[in-house]
Amino acid sequence: MLLPLGKGEWTVFSWFPFLWGAGGEVVTNNQPNLYNPEAIAALQFWQDLLQDGSAKLSAPERGYGEDDFIAGRVAMQITGPWTYITKSKVDYGVFPIPGNVERATVTGTGNFYLMKTTPAREQAALKFLEYVLSAEFQTEWSIGTGFLPINLKAAQSKAYQEFASKKPELKVFLAQMPVARPRPIIAGYSRLSDSLGRAIEASLLGESPQKALKAAQERLDLIWGNN
């Protein structure tokens, strides 16, 4: 299995389903809380996969790269419905990320921002947002891009169901939507992610998960003024 080496967002993004699958969180009362038993267990699991030979590391900050999988150098990879693998000639299968305590996965959520401006422009932006979120748009967009629709009516539409029937891997991703979660929505998330990414990278390179997460939490305590 390929595990992402690096401290960037892809590494953190890929690790979140294992954290939640272990029953863990990294935010408590709107504050970073990286140093907890469930987070340690989830990070220990990744380290164990490396140490027993079940996993190998990607090139630095290239955990999303698919060359090793397509070339047959690894048997498994963490990715999503956008993957180039679906367009390759590789004979592949898809399965949900297993959970230890519960099933979980992470959404590759993007963000829309409606900027404060004149009332007329705000209303126009809201109208556009409503259209982008509509079943009509989401059906066409999802069929055209391969990304999952975020509108239930779009996912259940005849056109999308016909499209998905030709791509059985999509059904696996769609079936996980009830247990899918976004990354933490918290002011200062980029700093949380940076510290967490450093801890994951350190652990994958041999540091104990306890020590790596404790150091990361201490950095965040300084940033959040908790000392």
Q: Are residues 206 and 105 in the same domain?
A: yes
Euclidean distance between CA atoms 217 and 100, whole angstroms: 24
Taking residues 128-134, what's their average pLDDT? Answer: 94
Taking residues 215-220, what's their average pLDDT? Answer: 96
pTM assigned to the model: 0.90
For the chain, what is the mean pLDDT? 93
Q: What backbone phi and psi angles, to 5 degrees, belong to 2?
A: -90, 125
Cross-strand pairs, 2: 56, 77
- What are the pLDDT digits (tens) for 169-180? 888 999 998 999
Nearest Cα to Cα of residue 178 among 105, 100, 125: 105
- What are the pLDDT digits (tens) for 172-206? 999 998 999 999 988 899 999 999 999 999 999 99
Range(s) of the domain holding residue 172 = 119-178
Query: Predicted confidence band at 79 (pLDDT cuts at 50, 70, 90)?
Result: very high
Q: Are residues 129 and 151 in the same domain?
A: yes
Structure letter (DSSP) for residue 179: G
The sign of the dihedral angle between the CA atoms of 100, 206, 182, 184 is positive
Proportion of the chain above pLDDT 90, given as a percent = 81
Residue 114 lies in a domain: no
Q: Are residues 11 and 49 in the same domain?
A: yes
Residue 113 confidence (pLDDT): 77
Q: Are residues 30 and 67 in the same domain?
A: yes
Q: Are residues 200 and 163 in the same domain?
A: no
Count up the domains in the chain and report the number: 2
pLDDT score of 110 more than 80: no
pLDDT score of 227 more than 70: no
Residue 74, domain CATH: 3.40.190.10
Euclidean distance between CA atoms 115 and 103, whole angstroms: 36
Q: Are residues 96 and 19 in the same domain?
A: yes
Residue 62 lies in a domain: yes
Euclidean distance between CA atoms 201 and 179, whole angstroms: 26
pLDDT score of 209 more than 90: yes
Q: Are residues 75 and 165 in the same domain?
A: no
Nearest Cα to Cα of residue 193 among 7, 6, 4: 7
Residue 91 lies in a domain: yes
- What are the pLDDT digits (tens) for 15-52? 999 999 999 999 999 999 999 999 999 999 999 999 99
The sign of the dihedral angle between the CA atoms of 47, 50, 55, 56 is positive
Residue 6 confidence (pLDDT): 95
Nearest Cα to Cα of residue 3 among 81, 89, 75, 104: 75
Query: Predicted confidence band at 147 (pLDDT cuts at 50, 70, 90)?
Result: confident
**Nearest 5°: CA angle at 105, between 93 and 30?**
165
Residue 2 confidence (pLDDT): 97
Q: Are residues 67 and 156 in the same domain?
A: no
Joined tokens for residue 120 = 């007329």
